[in-house]
Amino acid sequence: MPVRPILRWPDPLLSAPAAPVGEPDAETRALADDLLETMRAAPGVGITGPHVGAMRRIAVLELPGDAAPRVYCDPKVVWASDETARATEGSVSMPGITDEVERPASVRVAYRDLDGAAREEAAEGFRAACLQHEIDQLDRIFWLRRLGRVRRERAVKRWEKVRRGRAATS
């Protein structure tokens, strides 16, 4: 279960299509384990295959209060509420940069677990925001695209400053 290198925004793979997992196999389970270890090391609460250059539709979440991490193969939002909520979001591919994003307050997500069983999960609040965020990444939508132009430009400028600071200390 190695920690994999995380791609940094604006790496083009972060906006490339991710292939469906289909029936999970040993390779998929190994990827899920690697994603979990990579996410914990980042640290973060969610990660997808594309974050590490593995172009598969797989996401891992480990939220505060969860009994165990959750793995979602080929997840998709099948219902979203009209009511919206704002949550602070960021990305393991853009560490240190966050902003508020408005999304549906509740969702229902269909996916397969690592045993290949079809599942559906209802979520609200922080879990709903996290699921939508990771599914967006699998759908080639980096979280910055959910911000208005001015806030997106400010976030990019902050990121450029962070990256320059890291380059100066390496």
State pLDDT tens for residues 33-71.
Answer: 999 999 999 999 999 999 999 999 999 999 999 999 999
Query: Rounded to an integer, what distance in angstroms lies between the CA atom of residue 146 and that of residue 8?
Result: 18
Say whether pLDDT at 170 is over 60: no
Q: For 100-118, what is each residue's pLDDT tens digit?
A: 999 999 999 999 999 999 9
Tell which residue, 127, 20, 132, has the closest CA to residue 78. 132
Whether 3 maps to a domain, the answer reads: no
What is the CATH classification number for the domain harbouring 137? 3.90.45.10
Number of domain units in the chain: 1
What is the residue range of 74's domain?
A: 12-169
The model carries a pTM of 0.94
Note whether residue 4 is domain-resident.
no
Strand partners, 125: none
The catalytic residues are: 134
pLDDT digits (tens, 9 = 90+) for 110-156: 999 999 999 999 999 999 999 999 999 999 999 999 999 999 999 99
Q: Residue 118 half-sphere exposure, CB side, CA atoms within 13 Å? A: 2
